[in-house]
Amino acid sequence: MATEPTVKPTDPLTATPATLDPAQVDPAAPPATGPWKLAWRRLRRNKVALAFGVLFVLLILSALAAPLWAEHVANTTPDRNRLADQIIVDGKPRDIVSVRGIPMGPTWRGEYFLGADENGRDVMVRLLYGARNSVFIGLTAALITTVLAVLLGLLAGYFRGWIDALISRGLDVLWAFPVLLLGIALGVSLATEGLSIGPITVAGNSLWIPTLIIGFVGIVYLARPVRGQVLGLREKEFIEVARAQGMSDWRIMTRELLPNLFSTILVFFPLIMANAILLEAALSFLGAGVQAPSPSWGTMIDTGLDRLRGAPHLTIAPGVMLIMTVLSLNIFGEGVRDALDPRAKVRLEH
């Protein structure tokens, strides 16, 4: 183990000031065990959470490798239509899309590994490119949520008074809206007109539209717990000490309070990201998220729904990807929470 001390440290009680000669100070003293190291040790023992963490990393890597698969294995692009073509499978020619309009099922080899869709596009390739979009939106939206929610929670909890009232009531309003309806309303209106704030213009079919919407509606989930925690922390004696040291409010918030919030943020982040990916799929499924022809798991399920009977792989494949991604994030997130706060009441049974 890397943390094993190479030299046994002298007992601090028996070490008298006379032995404090700098030359004698042992340079290989064990590094201090910080709270993060302790949490990592606990997480490392939770094999299930680690396995799902690894699964999530694999999903991300496969999304990153999408162009490699498309170019070298499937020999196609996510948008290439091959409606009237045939390919040779096991020596026999097969229609990519039959004359009755039913797309071919999985071939389990390079080209059309998971079959074709209604336009003769390679489902596997679109799935991988869709993963890129989903993960990009999930990650970016979760980052936007976290930054804004932590900022709002810190300001509300630290300053209290009218700042808190303003922020909390704003969150209440946001909370009162059904998230999905708010997302659809924003998505539909922004998708047709695009977004332009000052010099920044975002086109209606840009991925940033759903990303911003999802990041925005997620704020309530994190801002409230952060505010609550800050309200508790600000009464702690070390904050009083910081004030007595002459630290400014901003410094107290960023240097004293924020580091104490990291464990909360770390616990919430994977869960928020899972939520964001789900919401993206839901919005895309309803046509208010990622716009065609950009692939997304939500739109793929949406278009596959019409052909559920003849070509179930169109809905099953993106559905399974969605479940795996969200499940891995949730279970890994629970593991992180158990590691950071072993006394948390809600635990996952193994």
Partner 1 sequence: MSTQPLLEVDHLKVDFRTDEGLVHAVDDVSFRLGQSEVLAVVGESGSGKSVTAMTLMGLTRSPNARFEGSARLRGQELITASDDELRKLRGKEIAMIFQDPMTSLNPVHRIGKQIVEQIQAHDDVSDAEARDRVVTLLDRVGIPRSRERIDSYPHEFSGGMRQRVMIAMALSCDPGVLIADEPTTALDVTIQAQILREMRDLRERTGTSIILVTHDLGVVADIADRIAVMYSGRIVETGTLDEIFYDPQHPYTWGLLGSIARIDRPRPHRLPSIPGQPPSLIDRPEGCHFRPRCRHEFEDCPKYPELEGRIGQAPGHDDRCWLPVEEKRDRRVVADGQIGLEAEGATA
Binding site for partner 1 (CB under 8 A): 9-10, 12, 15-17, 19-20, 22, 25-26, 29, 31-35, 236-238, 240-248, 251, 255-256, 259-260, 262
CB of 271 to partner 1, least distance (A): 22
CB of 12 to partner 1, least distance (A): 5
* Cβ-based nearer residue to partner 1, 257 or 272: 257
**Smaller CB distance to partner 1: residue 135 or 340?**
340
Instruction: Find the shortest distance in angstroms from Cβ 20 to partner 1.
Output: 7
User: Which CB, 176 or 244, lies closer to partner 1?
Assistant: 244
Minimum distance from residue 155 beta carbon to partner 1 (Å): 17
Q: How far is the CB of 163 from partner 1 (least distance, A)?
A: 14
We find the least distance from the C-beta atom of residue 42 to partner 1, in angstroms, to be: 16
Nearer to partner 1, 237 or 349 (CB): 237
Q: How far is the CB of 81 from partner 1 (least distance, A)?
A: 55
Q: Which is nearer to partner 1, 260 or 303 (CB)?
A: 260
Assign 3-class secondary structure to the chain. Answer: CCCCCCCCCCCCCCCCHHHCCHHHCCCCCCCCCCHHHHHHHHHHHCHHHHHHHHHHHHHHHHHHCHHHHHHHHCCCCCCCCCCCCEEEECCEEEECECCCCCECCCCCCCCCCCCECCCCCEHHHHHHHHHHHHHHHHHHHHHHHHHHHHHHHHHHHHHCHHHHHHHHHHHHHHHHCCHHHHHHHHHHHHHHHCEEECCEEECCCCCHHHHHHHHHHCHHHHHHHHHHHHHHHCCCHHHHHHHHCCCCHHHHHHHHHHHHHHHHHHHHHHHHHHHHHHHHHHHHHCCCCCCCCCCCHHHHHHHHHHHCCCCCHHHHHHHHHHHHHHHHHHHHHHHHHHHHCCCCCCCCCC
Nearer to partner 1, 204 or 259 (CB): 259
Residue closer to partner 1 (CB basis): 188 or 247: 247
